[in-house]
Amino acid sequence: MNREPRRQRTYFILLLVTAFALLTIDYHSNGTNSPLHPLEKLVAGVTGPGEKAVNSLVKPITDQVHFGKQPSQVAELQKELDAAKALAETSQNDHRQVEQFDKLLGWPPYYVMKMKPARVVGTGDTLSNDGSVTIDMGTRDGVHINMTVVTGLGLIGNVIRVQATTSTVQLLTDPTIYVTVKNGRTNVGGFVSGRTDGNLDLTQISQTSDIRAKDQLVTLGSEDNQPYVPNVPVGEVIKVDNTPGAATHTAIVRPYASFNALDIVAVIFAPATPFPHVFISPITPPPTTAPPSPTVTPARTSGSVSPSALVSGTSATTTTASRATQTSAPTTTHPATTTSAPQTSAVPTTTHATTKPTTTKPPTTKPPTTKPTTKPPTSGPPTSTSAPHTTPTP
């Protein structure tokens, strides 16, 4: 009778020591090269789909029940959600359609930047909140590590782990990740990292250039577009910390994306080729006008969708009316949200949602945000390329 509790205490201490050993092992070997990685994959392979299932079960209920949130906030979030859903629908369409267009028109690869929508199915709980979320897309959907993840409003993070049907996204607000950014006004680079209050810290090395409140930041882009594609809206400077004599300029940035109710996000499937940083610069050589013209005939012979559907859905209504109207919207949305200058970041989502059914010409949705230098390049080239094709379309 006396030996049993003692043996149990030994087991307890053994377990504690094991836990501590695991802690130190994983603490030193960071992430994927940890010896526990296979076990982690196993657990993630079970819990990921489980989270997906539970989320889809409770989502209809929790959409209705909100404790402790102001009604206005709920409405606001709902609006964001609707906009994001609209974006998600269109971008999913876009992914397939643009792929076809890309082949047909022989566009430069950097235009293939596209999104695949995903849902956030798991977040951190009270005890383990690591500034990361689970999304319902994995290797089966083509997701791999270091892909950029955005919402309709801007950058939220990048994929750090993938399983078969789910993956983990490290959020921008995590203090351990640094994102290189570019000031939209001065074009000066810097980096942001998360703060505990949900905002970001901006550090700008350059002494010659200042930071002002309301400066808008976009991603500078990473090598091979991993983990960050360039020109994704990140946030807006809300408070500048100008310490005299400091080696760096620092400021506090409010991210465009809202992190407290993430639902629909989009993973950017970017090509490995470098993105030209022309989108944001004033001089934009239109390289896209030349290549498409020789491929006009192949585009038409394929018959299914004419390139004119890209821009003006109305002109292509003869052949594929329904698809044309669908495709015209995505092409306007996806370059805008992913590559546009920060000015458009907050506005476009709502405009996309509203303009989507009408399918007006893409440039008309842009001008409200008055920055003539940056906006046209994003949507301009497709317009100019496909404009010639509209006439020969049967």
Partner 1 sequence: MSWKVALLAALSMFTALLLQRSALPLLGLPGAAPIPMVVLLAAFALVRGPFAGCLIGFFSGLAADLAPPTTHGAGREALLYCLIGYLCGKAAGEVDRTTLAPLAVVAVASAFAVVGNAALNVIFGVVHPSLSSLAHTVPAVVLYDVLLAPFIVPAVAVLVRRLDPEPRR
Residue ranges binding partner 1 (CB under 8 A): 1, 4, 8-9, 11-12, 15-16, 18-27, 30-31, 34, 36, 39-40, 43-44, 47-48, 50-55, 57-59, 62, 65-69, 121-128, 130-134, 160-161, 163, 166-170, 174-176, 196, 261
**Cβ closest to partner 1, residue 85 vs residue 185:** 85
In the chain, count H helices and then E strands: 9, 12
Between CA 207 and CA 217, with CA 211 as vertex, the angle to 5 degrees is 115
Least Å from the CB of residue 240 to partner 1: 24
Between 19 and 213, name the residue whose CB sits nearer to partner 1.
19
Residue closer to partner 1, measured from CB, 133 or 264? 133
User: CB of 138: closest distance to partner 1 in angstroms?
Assistant: 10
Q: How far apart are CB 176 and partner 1 at their closest, in Å?
A: 5
Smaller CB separation from partner 1, 33 or 208: 33
CB of 262 vs partner 1, minimal distance in Å: 10
Indicate the residue among 167 and 326 with the shorter CB distance to partner 1: 167
- Distance of closest approach, residue 168 Cβ to partner 1, in angstroms: 5
Closest separation in Å from C-beta 65 to partner 1? 6
In the complex, what is the shortest distance from the CB of residue 4 to partner 1, in angstroms, rounded to a whole number?
7
Q: How many CA atoms lie within 13 A of 23 on its CB side?
A: 6
**Of 97, 63, 98, residue with least CA distance to 82:** 63
Based on CB atoms, which residue is closest to partner 1, 61 or 247?
61
Smallest separation, CB 151 to partner 1 (Å): 16
Q: Which is nearer to partner 1, 15 or 321 (CB)?
A: 15
Q: Residue 28 or 214: which CB sits closer to partner 1?
A: 28
3-state SS, one letter per residue, for the chain: CCHHHHHHHHHHHHHHHHHHHHHHHHHHCCHHHCCCHHHHHHHHHHHHHHHHHHHHHHHHHHCCCCCCCCHHHHHHHHHHHHHHHHHHHHHHHHHHHHHHHHHHHCCCHHHHCEEEEEEEEEECCCCCCCCEEEECCCHHHCCCCCCEEECCCCEEEEEEEECCCCEEEEECCCCCCEEEEEECCCCCEEEEEECCCCCEEEEECCCCCCCCCCCEEEECCCHHHCCCCCCCEEEEEEEEECCCCCCCEEEEEEECCCCCCCCEEEEEECCCCCCCCCCCCCCCCCCCCCCCHHHHHHHHHHCCCCCHHHHCCCCCCCCCHHHHHHHHHHHHHHHHHHHCCHHHHHHHHHHHHHHCCCCCCHHHHCCCCCCCCCHHHHHHHHHHHHHHHHCCCC
Closest CB to partner 1 among residues 90, 123:
123
- Least distance between partner 1 and beta carbon 158 (Å): 12
